[in-house]
């Protein structure tokens, strides 16, 4: 048992007590080593239920939010999933254990490259990631059974993402409203232009922005060897 095992067990129990009842989701979170996705100086906080910075003003979401979003997707192992906002790669890694294929988009190339190194180290072979404008989705791979967005849209999801969702498909996305609040929203596509919409929980995410960010001096955090 490594140094993180007890903390991980405590986190899983906390998530279960807070309403995460999907055993497949809890199992995926238990299997993916979150310590591999956070900066080295913060690895002792990897299994605390909180958001942590990963550079470039981006964050790795708190485990409760990751679990809530993943559970709300109602994943099937045959599903093809689009993730907008690769970030550290942690959410994609969790998804990869629950579906057939994950397509992930990140606008910050250094974050993408670091995430891809983690996927390779953990032998997660069913994730394909690109540096692109996530607001445009991934038309070449559409339609998707599920879409998850890990940055906050303004008022409503981008039309491109709604259009790339299969009929019967589900999108989970944080949305900011005029009063400044953010809520995690679930959109289920019931027809070509018809969606059933409901809110899940209040959240706080970085904004969903267009375009690809130019490479800068940011250096990805050092990776550590992990068992998987």
Catalytic residues: 61
Q: Which residues contact 24 (CB under 8 A, 6 or more apart)?
A: 75, 98
Calculate the alpha carbon distances from 219 to 37, 85, 88, 108 in Å.
Answer: 14, 18, 13, 12
Other residues' Cβ atoms within 10 Å of the Cβ of residue 64: 17
| Phi/psi at 210 (5° precision) | -85, 170
Rounded Cα distance between 132 and 134, Å, is 6
Calculate the alpha carbon distances from 79 to 56, 126, 153, 159 in Å.
Answer: 31, 12, 24, 21
């Amino acid at each position: 048992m490594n140094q993180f095992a007890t903390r991980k067990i405590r986190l899983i129990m906390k998530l279960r007590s807070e309403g995460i009842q999907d055993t497949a989701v809890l199992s995926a979170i238990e299997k993916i080593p979150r310590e591999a996705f956070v900066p080295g100086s913060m690895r002792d906080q990897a299994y605390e239920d909180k958001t942590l910075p990963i550079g470039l003003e981006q964050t790795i979401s708190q485990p409760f939010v990751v679990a809530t979003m993943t559970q709300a997707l109602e994943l099937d192992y045959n599903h093809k999933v689009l993730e907008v906002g690769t970030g550290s790669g942690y959410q994609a890694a969790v998804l990869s254990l629950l579906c057939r294929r994950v397509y992930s988009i990140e606008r910050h190339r250094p974050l993408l490259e670091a995430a891809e190194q983690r996927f390779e180290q953990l032998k997660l072979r069913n994730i394909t990631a690109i540096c692109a404008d996530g607001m445009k989705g991934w038309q070449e791979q559409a339609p998707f059974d599920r879409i998850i967005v890990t940055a906050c849209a303004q008022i409503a999801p981008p039309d491109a993402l709604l259009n790339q969702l299969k009929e019967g498909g589900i999108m989970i996305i944080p949305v900011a409203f005029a009063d400044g609040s953010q809520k995690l929203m679930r959109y289920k596509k019931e027809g070509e232009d018809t969606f059933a919409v409901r809110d899940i929980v209040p959240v706080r995410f970085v904004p969903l922005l267009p375009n690809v960010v130019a490479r800068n001096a940011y250096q990805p955090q050092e990776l550590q060897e992990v068992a998987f």
